[in-house]
Amino acid sequence: MGRLDNKVALITGGARGQGEAESRLFVAEGARVVITDVLDAEGENLARELGEMATYARLDVTDEDNWDRVISDLGPGGLDILVNNAGIALMASLLDATLDHYRKVIEVNQVGTWLGMRAAGRAMRDSGGGSIVNISSIDGFHGMPAMTAYASSKFAVRGMTKAAALDLGSHGIRVNSVHPGLIDTPMLVTGGQEVRESLGKLAETFPVGRLGTAKDVAQVVLFLASDESGYCTGTEFVVDGGLIAGVTFDT
């Protein structure tokens, strides 16, 4: 038996990176997965590869009507798990960033997560409960140069998770956030391959000594999506190889 047998999961940003890893793992664990994204070709190809337990639906997470359509298409009692995974990272120093840049990141990472929690929460309330997993970041705990917009959005996701857990607990809905560190996905190379290599060197100094993988994150998301985490809500789960535990040095 799989850990998600007979459950229906919707994963945003599910076509690649962490979302793809979550989609693959959830199907392997018995869930019927609705992969959503704006990367249609990648999403459709992944759904075909995963077979009859996966479907693809286009979803712009910033669009309220998109959310209503996708949730409605699931039918009554059709959603057990939401993974708010969709996100973007645009690098720019505070002095060089534009307001449009800031708003774009906030709309996807923060507003998109809020709309998802509301839409899924309504569906789960009507069907007796479920689990919402919001993907934040270690930048929801501390700052990072050239990432004021991203950090703002990820701190917000952390706070929204706690508030939503209080609102939704009486309906049998759990809400938790996952905070990845340096994970080797397409988002990591936003600043170019040179930045990725530099971060890889940095990761060698972490207690675990390496960059994280999308599967590292997906395994934690799986736990939170499953009934195994039935007494967990309103809290943070950090997946960072020890990055924010403190500074290491040779002794």
Distance (Å, whole) CA 151 – CA 155: 6
Q: Which amino acid is at 232?
A: C
Q: Give pLDDT tens digits for 155-204.
A: 999 999 999 999 999 999 999 999 999 999 876 665 566 776 777 788 88
- Bridge partners, residue 56, by sequence: 35
Coil/strand/helix, residue 141? coil
Q: Is 231 a catalytic residue?
A: no
Sign of torsion over alpha carbons 9, 14, 17, 23: positive
Annotated active-site residue in 56, 102, 150, 231: 150
Which residue in 187, 15, 193, 157 sits closest to 89, CA to CA? 187
With 0.85 as the threshold, say if the pTM is over it. Answer: yes
pLDDT band of residue 250 (cuts 50, 70, 90) is: low
Go through the domains of the chain in sequence order and give each one's CATH number.
Answer: 8-235 (3.40.50.720)
Is the CA virtual torsion 185, 152, 131, 234 positive or negative? positive
Distances (CA, A) of 105 to 64, 111, 194, 218: 17, 9, 23, 23
In tens, the pLDDT along 51-73 reads 999 999 999 999 999 999 999 99
